[in-house]
Amino acid sequence: MSMIKIGVIGGTGYTGVELLRLLVRHPHAEVCLIGSRSQAGTAVADLFPSLRGFYELNFSTPSTKELAECDLVFSATPNGIAMTHARELVANGVKLIDLAADFRFKSKPLWEQWYGMEHACPELLESAVYGLPEVNRDLIRDAQIVANPGCYPTATTLGFLPLVEAGLVDTKDLIADAKSGVTGAGRGASVNNLYSEVADSFKAYGASGHRHLPEIKANLNAMTASEVGLTFVPHLTPMLRGIHSTLYANLLDADVSIEHIHERFLARYDNELFVDVMSIGSHPETRSVKGVNVCRIAVHKAADSGKVVVLSVIDNLVKGAAGQAIQNMNIMFGLSEDTALNDASLLP
């Protein structure tokens, strides 16, 4: 097939540079422009020496005309930016994958409630497809706008999904205790993210309500007839990459065996390239998914409690962002989903 002409908006953030790293080895992708207002005119390889020899482009402030010449645009910008480009891209037949949150909700009031700004193109919310391939693969194929899921929602949704779909648990009392590395907060300067602030420490945040809570609830509500009750508490850990979601649910039948639960997970993800269900008794580590587009899951049954515990780990920059975006691109263009995404993880 011919090369896919790619534009990347927001190429200087962690997800942007991760996109560039992964796209280097994509045989059908040609990155034509890399946008950054703050670094316009700077050579990509000068800002990111890790990309020397792979990109000869400079960062630029792309015009609507330049973006319209792409086949696909990745928007790796903060919330509120992709929606300002979306109308023009759609009108010109360009596909858009937004790695921020602009198109993750169908409801304009809900989006504005959680993100605190007016949505610039609410008429496009309904046609945008939530880009979790394990759930929406068929819709992603024909989508023009794909809303790439958040990192916490990816790990948490994939961990709960088999339990909720199979009707094994009480969906009115789900708990997600999730931890993230500091790159999840982005590359912008912030006192709270300084090394001396996060090293040798550990804290929760957003305990009374986090933006990813309604996103996760919407995912789970789509799998069951009743409204899901979810407690979601994120935590910041002193590591660079990784999401670890520890998920708790009450079994409707306390006598269900761990073997039966495990079999449901194996059956649900049997044909999924990027979900690895580990053997009974396993405890996945975030380092086991470092740099790769994999969600690694283990299931446990808590002793004498009637509770199931799911451990779900991803790399927040890959399966939680750039890798999943490329997985979605591959689906949209009829390519094998693992194109440019079949590496082994980094260790140590």
Q: What does the alpha-carbon distance between residue 46 and residue 59 come to, in Å, rounded to a whole number?
A: 10
Closest CA to 284 of 272, 297, 293, 294: 297
Catalytic sites, residue numbers: 151
Say if CB 258 and CB 299 are below 8 A apart: yes
Name every residue whose Cβ is closer than 8 Å to that of residue 169 and which is 6 or more positions away in sequence: 163, 249, 250, 251, 252, 308
Question: Which tokens is 48 given?
Answer: 């990111």
Cβ-contact 74, 7 below 8 angstroms: yes
Residue 267: which H helix or E strand, with range?
Answer: helix 258-268
| Integer angstrom CA distances of residue 341 from 27, 125, 172, 297, 329 | 11, 29, 36, 19, 12
Question: Pseudo-torsion of CA 233, 10, 82, 213, nearest 10°?
Answer: 0
